[in-house]
Structure 1
């Protein structure tokens, strides 16, 4: 759990959009995973003063509190974790709802989930805890694994989930959703909303990708039904029952060719070749338009 250069840029962009960090809660005490040169580049790009941090033993982690207070205007930067091993401000297992006497719900201007919820088995409970901690008018920020990070945690996440969770009728406004390719710190990729495209937005590439989300809480949502994937909720499930299937047509040229190749044992080698060619095509940095739109991050956050 921590803040890398992509997450730091997300915080800066959120600040430019008017997000208040006056009282911030981090899910997990956030360490800084930022190279010194990256931090200095960011400081100059934003016109910020040098960051003053408390002394620490060699090799000890750097934590997020000085960055939040000095660069983002936080008056308090708190954290919650299931364990005391990183000296989080509050101890709570996010698999469990906030207890009735918890002082945290509704108290925070910003709640940061940077690399936490993929490690929590009961994601719906953890997500409700995150949004409950946010005050009305405050913001929730996520940075979570999306692609080629299998094994990092319990889960990888699809944009479809957050496009459906953060809707006005559920009490939220989604202000931005981007993919960040881990190896390309200069660009993000704004993700198209599958509900607006009326089709699924998929990604198959050769790089580690995580998703960044910015959402504002409009009102207390109360009890919410589980979201349904948009192409089912808006299309397939609303159609009349399917008519009786038409009689099968005679096999076309494609089917006949497929059958002939299969009988000769050539289908599997040809499929393997096809998949290798697809892997080569997906090894570049770019994500496919129109589902993804490239964003120049330095142009976005430069002051």
Structure 2
């Protein structure tokens, strides 16, 4: 567990939204970003060296007034020893202004309770930051996470606001991809050939947050409307005049559709990029320089 390059830049973006204040990290987070990167990002002394863990950096450069960490074991010196599979001890509930999950929830079996704990830590108005494996990380932990989970969970109806979801392709360090909130009945379909992480920021509006009615949005829409879920984007065929003409010749249309899905460029099928209608490609430099709003 630790802060790598994408996580570091996402924290820089989150800092532009609000000072971190009282902060807790899920697991004690190591620093796995080059010292030269930290020097270039902040006005730090030339002889700056990374500490082993992130607390000093969060205090000095991100406005954290205090940084605690929670872990199952004391082996890395966490300040709160607690199993996140179970509800939090009362003395840490409602205490923090920033919660940082820099890649920990994927290792916790009772992930629903762990997600609840992240919100239980928060004062009203606190921000929650997740940086978690999304795909091609099989074996890294118990879980990989879909953007849909966070859009459904961190909704206005459940007591949250300003929810933003991004995907990071670990082979593309200069870019992030904002995930567009799905339209009613729509499913977000994203494929990647390399490891991808989901980066999430949300704000807890009030302590009375809810978990009731968290459902995948396209199914919830279908149940409410009596319709069906939208066809996955990966299976949709190209649209337009050519397709309309081909459809008048069923055999030819079937052959053309098969050829399109078999031979279309690999980067369109398997890479995170702007061709995916659910993604907006953004440069990390613009994100960290002035934010995205």
Distance 2:271 2:102 in 1: 26
After superposition, the Cα gap between the structure-2 partners of 1:129 and 1:34, relative to the gap in structure 1 and judged at 3 Å, is same
2:279 aligned to 276, 280, 292, which one? 292
RMSD: 2.8
1:210 aligns with 2:197: yes
Residue 103 of structure 1 aligns to a residue in which SS?
Answer: helix
Partner residue of 2:225? Answer: 239
- 1-side partners of 2:46 and 2:28: how far apart? 19
Deviation at 1:224, TM superposition (A): 2.8
Are 1:27 and 1:114, in contact at CA under 8 Å, matched by a contact in 2?
yes
1:228 to 207, 215, 226: 215
1:51, 1:225 → 2: CA distance? 51
| 2:110 aligned partner | 122
Distance 1:197 1:296 in 2: 28
Hey, what's the Cα distance between the residues in 2 that align with 1:278 and 1:96?
46
In structure 2, what is the Cα distance between the partners aligned to 1:177 and 1:116?
A: 17
- Alpha-carbon separation, structure 1, partners of 2:275 and 2:191: 10
Displacement of 1:126 after TM fit? 0.5
Q: In the alignment, which of 130, 133, 149 is matched to residue 142 of structure 1? A: 130
2-side partners of 1:152 and 1:53: how far apart? 32
Equivalent residues of 1:51, 1:67 under 8 A apart: no
Would you say the 8 A contact 1:206–1:279 is kept in 2? no
- 1:246 corresponding residue in structure 2: none
Tell me whether 115-124 or 170-179 shows the greater mean CA deviation.
170-179
Q: Confirm or deny: 8 A CA contact 1:53 1:66 kept in the other structure.
A: no
- Separation (CA, whole Å) in 1 of partners of 2:201 and 2:47: 27
CA distance, structure 1, for counterparts of residue 208 and residue 262 of structure 2: 44
Task: Name the counterpart of 2:79.
Answer: 89
- Which deviations, in whole Å up to 9, do the C-alpha atoms of 1:77-135 show, x marking residues without a partner? 11000011110000000001113xx3111000100011010110111100011110011
Deviation at 1:300, TM superposition (A): 2.0
Q: How many residues align?
A: 267
Match for 1:182 among 170, 175, 183? 170
- What CA distance in whole angstroms lies between the structure 2 residues aligned with 1:187 and 1:224? 33
Q: Which segments of 5 or more consecutive residues in structure 1 lack a partner in the other structure?
A: 56-60, 243-251, 259-269
| 1:6-155 aligned within 5 A | 6-17=6-17, 19-43=18-42, 48-50=43-45, 62-99=52-89, 102-155=90-143
Shift of the 198–107 alpha-carbon distance from structure 1 to 2, 3 Å rule, reads: same
Q: Which runs of 5+ in 2 are unaligned?
A: 229-248
Instruction: Give the 3-state SS of the residue equivalent to 1:193 in structure 2.
Output: coil
- 159, 182, 206: which is aligned to 2:147? 159
CA displacement, residues 180-233 of structure 1 (integer Å, 9 cap, x when unaligned): 111212110000111x26411111121111000000010123553141111111
Name the SS of the counterpart of 1:77 in structure 2. strand
Question: Aligned partners of 1:241 and 1:120: how far apart in 2?
Answer: 36
**TM-score when scaled to structure 2?**
0.82
Note closer, same or farther for the CA distance 1:2–1:40 as it changes in structure 2 (3 Å cut). same
